Structure 1
Amino acid sequence: MGESRGPFLRAFIPGSTSSDDTGRLNLDARGNRGSHSVGTKNRGHASRSWIKIDQDGNFEILELDKTTIMRHCSLPARDLRLLDPLFIYPSTILGREKAIVVSLVQIRCIITADEVILMNSLDGCVVQYYLELCKRLQTNKDQADDLPFEFRALELALELTCMSLDAQVKELGMEIYPVLDELASSISTLNLEHLRRLKGHLLALTQQVQKVHDEIEHLMDDDGDMAAMYLTEKKQRLDSSSDGYTQTNISSLDRVVSKSAPVSPVGSISGAQKLQRAFSSIVTSKHGSLISSSSNRENVEQLEMLLEAYFVVVDNTLSKLLSVRL
């Protein structure tokens, strides 16, 4: 960790250059190595600086465009818009085929079964998430953990978001109550204007907390959405199923072709191709059915308990806000 922080910190200093910077990857839409300048455009899409964190807590700073991210994580363009700090979107947690898209107030990232990808930013919440995740992953690297990688990354995002919102509520309360006490003794234009600004802040904060509250509640009410977030299990199941079906398919095809007596070389090639296509069709159909049935039987209790813990925290924060009357 200590050796990795050097290039990370230098990446935030405008105009700084070093030999470490040459190690950064700047990939175009096809994944080829390109120039190292920030802000270059590939196929009409501007490259941005991203931080990629692996399962061991190691990180890389990459220059990638949206097309590369979309292809790598199998995500639609609309999901990447949720990660753009220039836009304001309600808090959202989405389970996709190969990734979990997290947009919780300031913490916005893509979580896969193997890595976390988030935009390189100086925002305090982003830096705190990045540093804390690396620290936890490196500390527990050799220790058994009940939670898969994707849930550990998601848990930290929920934890920091809930802590940040609760801290903002406490800070706002410390501002509001003295103003109310002062208005009780003397009403002035200055005090009323101050109270109006605080009320606007209170409403905005309430909406943020309410959306996080509703998003967690929505996930807990939908077993299908929770099952879609078991990325490690889906990947392991897919890999094992693919290996098993591939071996069975090859063995069966060899037996059938060896027993066939082709009339001519042309006929034998055509027959083998037809058999191969037929087996591929059967395997694809069975494989899809297996994944579908397994997903329906997915045990989501582990994720549900994790979400419930933070639902209680954010519900308590929301109750504090709703108790304030201006």
Structure 2
Amino acid sequence: MVADQLPSAVSLTLFASIWRKNQKTMEESQGDFLPSDVPESTSSNNCERNTSSAHSNRWSGFPGVKKRGHSSRSWIKIDQDGNVKILELDKAKIMRQCSLPSRDLRLLDPLFIYPSTILGREKAIVVSLEQIRCIITAEEVILMNSLDINVVQYKSELCKRLQAKKDQSDDLPFEFRALELALELTCMSLDVKVKELEMEIYPVLDELASSINTLNLERVRRLKGHLLTLTQRVQKVRDELEHLMDDDGDMAEMYLTEKKLRSEGNTPHEINPLTNFSGGTRQVSKSAPVSPIASTSGAPRLQRAFSSIVTASKQGSLTSSHGGDNIEQLEMLLEAYFVVIDHTLSKLLSLKEYIDDTEDLINIKLGNVQNHLIQFELLLTAATFVATLFAAVAGVFGMNFAASIFDYPSAFSWVLIITGAGCGLLYFSFLLYFKYKKIFPL
């Protein structure tokens, strides 16, 4: 039995020695890459640091690469007193300061072309009306700095009105003053462009009606393109004002001063007296949970629920009354400029109708000329038919064949006279037929 166990013991000893040799070989091979006096965590940190430095060195070779959303632009800041300050602000700072999403700031980017838009947000009003692109808050106006005449006029006129507001009795809040000026300048600018287009297009249309040529048609085509573009711009402003007036929520959202005062004011929490189980009174908040011991009869719970309903109804009625006044005030402001822009749009539509009438007149004239050409072609065709008959008779008698009629010298002359008279009578009968059928007046 001992002899049977000896081979197994020898094999186990041999396997253990081989395993120790392999383990020692692996440790020596790892020592070539990792020094023994440096911990493994330190080497891994060094590898990560080298990798990050390699990435930074790779991107450092491109000096023109900038982080997205961190490019600064020049803005004009106008406060409530009319003081102007030029600032360099980036997109992220404006988003944090005015609580605006990135998609709203894209409306103000001059690199993008967006239609006229007025958006009411929690702390600001985003205005993009033609060249006037600004952010209106309850305390200031952040205007896109530009050399455009509308932007310069808006800045100067707003400062002038804000500095002179103490001498005037105007109950409009600051944001409505800024919005009113933007609407006023936009409506005036569009109206001036419409008047210039009217002064240019009416003489061209009158000249085209009297003289139809390629030069006048090309001028009318170019002016009609300008008319369609201007009509779309005016139509977009009108639709935006109409959309705001139709939505009470959007108009209430634009009253920034009231929302600011409401957020800064401390609304007092009503305190209801409740009788406890010991017979005394204590002050408990209406939102506090009711103890099952103190509410055995259920009366305190009903009292608390009733007081909560009454308080909520009072606050809701006060808020709705103030909101209704504000909405009515803003609605009257928007309606005034809606009438102005609608009048401008009606002038553009009248101008378009005048162009359409001129085109109809030109088509009528061209149709009349075409009818005259058709009449002349019909008369010419009838005359050609008659002349062909006369030529056929003359050609028949011009053939070289023997006939007794050639024995008389004047016989051929009589043939020509009779043939000509017959052709003339046939042509006259054609004219009578055309007159009878009223193909053309004769």
Runs of 4+ in 1 over 4 A off after TM superposition: 39-44, 290-293
Distance verdict in 2 for CA 1:295–1:87, change over 3 Å = farther
SS at match of 2:197: helix
What TM-score, normalized by structure 1, do the two folds share? 0.71
What TM-score, normalized by structure 2, do the two folds share? 0.53
Letter of the 2:123 partner, please give it.
K
Cα-to-partner distance string for 1:27-78 (whole Å, 9 max, x where unaligned): xxxxxxxxxxxx9967652100000000000011000100000110000001
SS at match of 1:108: strand
Cα-to-partner distance string for 1:284-315 (whole Å, 9 max, x where unaligned): xx99xx79993696121110100010001001
Residue of 164, 174, 179 corresponding to 2:199: 174
SS at match of 2:122: coil
In structure 2, the partner of 1:87 is 112
In structure 1, the partner of 2:51 is none
In structure 1, the partner of 2:233 is 208
SS at match of 1:102: strand
Give the whole-Å Cα distance in 2 for the aligned partners of 1:186 and 1:197. 18
Distance verdict in 2 for CA 1:236–1:142, change over 3 Å = farther
Cα-to-partner distance string for 1:205-225 (whole Å, 9 max, x where unaligned): 000000111111111111111
Query: Deviation at 1:318?
Result: 0.5
Cα-to-partner distance string for 1:158-193 (whole Å, 9 max, x where unaligned): 000000111110100111111001111112211111
Letter of the 1:197 partner, please give it.
R
Give the whole-Å Cα distance in 1 for the aligned partners of 2:233 and 2:68. 36
SS at match of 2:176: helix
Moved more, 184-193 or 69-78: 184-193
1:56–1:141 Cα contact (<8 Å) kept: no
Distance verdict in 2 for CA 1:221–1:74, change over 3 Å = same
Give the whole-Å Cα distance in 1 for the aligned partners of 2:316 and 2:124. 16
Calculate the aligned-residue CA RMSD, in Å: 2.6
Residue 75, structure 1, aligned to residue 100, structure 2: yes
Alignment of 1:286-305 (within 5 A): 294=319, 298-299=323-324, 300-305=327-332
Q: Which runs of 5+ in 1 are unaligned?
A: 1-38, 249-254, 257-285
Query: Deviation at 1:129?
Result: 0.4
Give the whole-Å Cα distance in 2 for the aligned partners of 1:97 and 1:198. 43
Give the whole-Å Cα distance in 1 for the aligned partners of 2:206 and 2:335. 37
Distance verdict in 2 for CA 1:295–1:115, change over 3 Å = farther
In structure 2, the partner of 1:240 is 265
Residue 52, structure 1, aligned to residue 77, structure 2: yes
Query: Deviation at 1:85?
Result: 1.8
In structure 2, the partner of 1:29 is none
Higher relative contact order (CA 8 A, sep 6+): 1
2:134–2:142 Cα contact (<8 Å) kept: yes
Letter of the 1:65 partner, please give it.
D
In structure 1, the partner of 2:212 is 187
1:91–1:208 Cα contact (<8 Å) kept: yes
Residue 123, structure 1, aligned to residue 148, structure 2: yes
2:227–2:348 Cα contact (<8 Å) kept: yes
In structure 2, the partner of 1:322 is 349
1:40–1:46 Cα contact (<8 Å) kept: no
Aligned-residue sequence identity (percent) comes to: 78
Q: Which runs of 5+ in 2 are unaligned?
A: 1-63, 272-282, 285-310, 356-442
What is the count of residue pairs matched by the alignment?
A: 249
Distance verdict in 2 for CA 1:212–1:86, change over 3 Å = same
SS at match of 1:90: coil
Structure with the largest fraction of helix: 2
Cα-to-partner distance string for 1:101-137 (whole Å, 9 max, x where unaligned): 1111111110000000011100111111011001110
SS at match of 1:49: strand
Give the whole-Å Cα distance in 2 for the aligned partners of 1:127 and 1:42. 31
Letter of the 2:348 partner, please give it.
L
1:41–1:47 Cα contact (<8 Å) kept: no
